[in-house]
Structure 1
Amino acid sequence: MNDDTVFRALADASRRQLLDRLHAKNGQTLTDLCQGLAMSRQAVTKHLAVLEEASLVATQRHGREKRHFINPVPIGEIAARWIGKFEHERVGALVDLKRSLEGDSHE
């Protein structure tokens, strides 16, 4: 999956809200997801389509119902690629700082 597609999908607050709702209760139908939201059914449908295109949401049909499930893999890939590599450098810098400060306090 293209990182840009995932970042664009995550850039919208309404789509993040839908992901939060699926995280809280996975496998919801469109009707379930629309309850309590200040947006139309059509808007929710469009947002879900963007999330599906980015592979952040997968669907399964159960008879006439279509259930939506969060797919954390694209977010995990982004975390590994974009956050993990920076985190490694930050931890190294903190270790160096700690050693430097401890060396200064022992002098």
Structure 2
Amino acid sequence: MSTATVDDDLWAAIGDPTRRRMLDLLLADGAGTATTLSQRMPVTRQAVAKHLAVLDRAGLVHGTAEGRERRYRVDDAQLARAVTQLAAVGSAWDARLRRIKRIAESIQARVDSE
């Protein structure tokens, strides 16, 4: 996977620990509102609403009007896309690290034989 195919907006949204915790809660509960999430997190309802807006822009959650609030659910397809990207990036880095290891071992072998 090239870096051109990595969705930076998606990863910026997932990169924040508070937003990852929100995704965890939404996945566990099936859905939630800014109010219900703020009751389970150490941040204000307003902060939760802002984080939900970021997740919504990235397509990771979708909100539907429910009374005076919006009920958010995780978009399974977008989350699966994120997992696929993470796996591809991880594989690319594994390959880089294996190459670095081979180079280091080659250098060490030359040093040892001198």
- Same structural fold, with TM-score higher than 0.5 when normalized by the shorter chain: yes
TM-score, structure 2 normalization = 0.66
In the alignment, residue 54 of structure 2 is paired with which amino acid? V
Q: Does 2:69 match 1:79? A: no
Aligned residue for 1:17? 21
Equivalents in 2 of 1:70, 1:78: separation in Å? Answer: 12
What are the equivalent positions in structure 2 for 1:1-107 lying under 5 Å apart?
A: 3-83=7-87, 86=91
Identity %: 36
In the alignment, residue 10 of structure 2 is paired with which amino acid? V
TM-score, structure 1 normalization = 0.70
Structure 1: gaps spanning 5 or more residues? 91-107
Kindly tell me the number of residue pairs found equivalent between the two proteins: 88
Structure 2: gaps spanning 5 or more residues? 1-5, 96-114
Q: RMSD over aligned Cα, in angstroms?
A: 2.4
In the alignment, residue 27 of structure 1 is paired with which amino acid? A
Q: Secondary structure at the match of 1:39?
A: coil
In the alignment, residue 64 of structure 1 is paired with which amino acid? R
Which deviations, in whole Å up to 9, do the C-alpha atoms of 1:6-62 show, x marking residues without a partner? 100010000000000000102212211111311111111111110000000101112
